[in-house]
Amino acid sequence: MRAARALFARKGYARTGTEEIVRRARVTRGALYHHFRDKQDLFAAVFDEVERALGAACRAAAEAAGSDPWARFRAGCHAYLDACLDAAVQQIVLLDAPVVLGWREWRRIDALHGLGLIEDGLRSMVERGLIARQPVEPLAHLLLGAITEAGMMIAGSKDVAAARRTVGRSLDHLLEALRARGRGREA
């Protein structure tokens, strides 16, 4: 997995061959195929691992932000955007995974590790009256889509640092709009 992750991150899925993966990992092709059906199955496992780490980083950033649900939610969202500066996240999560795994599978795995965090954060803010009382699930899906698209914008940019700053400001405006309308009113 480590060898495949490094190669997928550096070269992309299409330009990484299984021969190179087994050579770098110092295993036989038989050992590779004992654990994984094919290169796509190996990629899916690598993607899941990267997504899991990404979710953990967002959770850690939220926890480090203290007890205020608003600060925690914002910190988790910005941790995701910060992670999108990493070339491995860009290549594996944002560029290759939707193509290699197909949109549905990419979305399913992405939602496993990110959607629950967003739902929990939104639920906490709704309960405390920080945002308008409303169904959390559709709002979480909308925000996950917005944050994922922000990551795509970073990954596709020639200047990822400038793109990160721009989408970060836009995300803050979007979140502030939720909070400004929250203050006890129904959506």
pLDDT single digits (tens) 109-154? 988 899 999 999 999 999 999 999 999 999 999 999 999 999 999 9
**pLDDT score for 107:** 86
Residue 123 lies in a domain: yes
Residue 101 lies in a domain: yes
Residue 8 lies in a domain: no
Residue whose pair of structure tokens reads 């990404």 in the numeric block: 54
Q: Maximum CA pair distance of the chain?
A: 62
**pLDDT score for 186:** 47
Residue 25 lies in a domain: no
Confidence of residue 182 (pLDDT cuts 50, 70, 90): low
Residue 90 lies in a domain: yes
Residue 12 lies in a domain: no
Residue 88 lies in a domain: yes
**pLDDT score for 110:** 84
**pLDDT score for 58:** 96
Confidence of residue 187 (pLDDT cuts 50, 70, 90): very low
User: What pairs with residue 186 in β-bridges?
Assistant: 133
User: What pairs with residue 133 in β-bridges?
Assistant: 186
d(CA 87, CA 174): 26
CATH number at residue 176: 1.10.357.10
Domain that holds residue 109: 38-182
Residue 28 lies in a domain: no
Contacts within 8 Å (CB) and 24+ apart, 28-34 = none
**pLDDT score for 176:** 92
Choose among 119, 129, 116: nearest CA to 179.
Answer: 129
How many domains is the chain partitioned into structurally?
A: 1
* Averaged pLDDT of the chain: 93
Tokens of 80: 């995701």
